């Protein structure tokens, strides 16, 4: 008898892919938006399929890749967060104009502090570099700017716009 595969849910994964490859014309898979199939997320992350919700297209979480981005209305306006919260803390604000249009903003604010050199969890290509915020504290931003507008607080610091820098009399 062959050895079992080392990854979790190996048999379920194998049956899932057999079903997908045996379809003649198209495959429609129904899943819950709050708890989508991990196999569907894997296919969407690789670009093999597009997950389409009743309200529009769902996008995989750029940080963990396991969940999907879910829209919420918070006290500071609309935002998207990963559906696997609290395991994944990724969230991003949605601007008022784009929330009316139904498209997410391309500006992403990482909730947890990051360090210089960390990979960018949004685009995956850039790394986090220090940027000066003028009169504000330094913050981290993706080296892929302007195509990626991800920002984060420095470890032990505050992201630009949150606290004014104190100037000592000299």
Q: Are residues 93 and 142 in the same domain?
A: no
Residues 94 and 47 in one domain: yes
Whether residue 129 is found in the same domain as residue 69: no
Between CA 150 and CA 107 the distance in angstroms is 6
Residue 6 lies in a domain: no
In a domain, 50, yes or no: yes
In terms of residue numbers, what domain contains 133? 106-164
Q: Does 143 have pLDDT greater than 50?
A: yes
- Distance from C-alpha of 142 to C-alpha of 129, rounded to nearest angstrom: 6
| CA atoms of 139 and 57, how far apart (whole Å) | 32
In this model, does residue 100 exceed pLDDT 70? no
Query: How many domains in the chain?
Result: 2
Count Cα neighbours of 40 within 13 Å in the Cβ-side half-sphere.
19
Based on the domain organization, do 72 and 124 belong to the same domain?
A: no
Q: Are 118 and 139 within one domain?
A: yes
- Based on the fold, state whether residues 39 and 86 are members of the same structural domain: yes
Q: Is residue 159 reached through a cis peptide bond, with omega within 30 degrees of 0 on the bond before it?
A: no
- For 21-33, how does the pLDDT look when each residue is reduced to its tens digit (9 = 90+)? 887 777 777 776 6
Q: Which CATH number characterizes residue 62's domain?
A: 3.30.65
Domain boundary among 105, 121, 144: 105
pTM for the structure as a whole: 0.33
pLDDT digits (tens, 9 = 90+) for 67-89: 888 888 888 788 888 888 888 89
């Amino acid at each position: 008898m062959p050895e079992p595969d080392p990854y979790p849910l190996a048999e379920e994964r194998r049956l899932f892919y057999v079903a997908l490859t045996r379809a003649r014309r198209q495959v429609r898979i129904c899943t819950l938006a709050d708890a989508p199939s991990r196999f569907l997320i894997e296919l969407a992350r690789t670009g093999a399929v597009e997950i389409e919700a009743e309200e529009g297209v769902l996008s995989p979480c750029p940080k963990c890749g396991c969940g999907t981005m879910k829209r919420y209305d918070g006290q500071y306006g609309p935002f998207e967060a990963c559906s696997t919260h609290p395991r994944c803390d990724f969230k991003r604000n949605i601007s008022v104009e784009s929330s009316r249009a139904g498209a997410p903003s391309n500006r992403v604010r990482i909730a947890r502090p990051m360090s210089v050199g960390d990979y960018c969890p949004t685009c995956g290509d850039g790394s986090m570099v220090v940027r000066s915020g003028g009169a504000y504290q330094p913050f981290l931003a993706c080296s892929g700017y302007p195509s990626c507008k991800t920002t984060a607080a420095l470890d032990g610091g505050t992201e630009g716009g949150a606290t004014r820098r104190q100037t000592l009399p000299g």
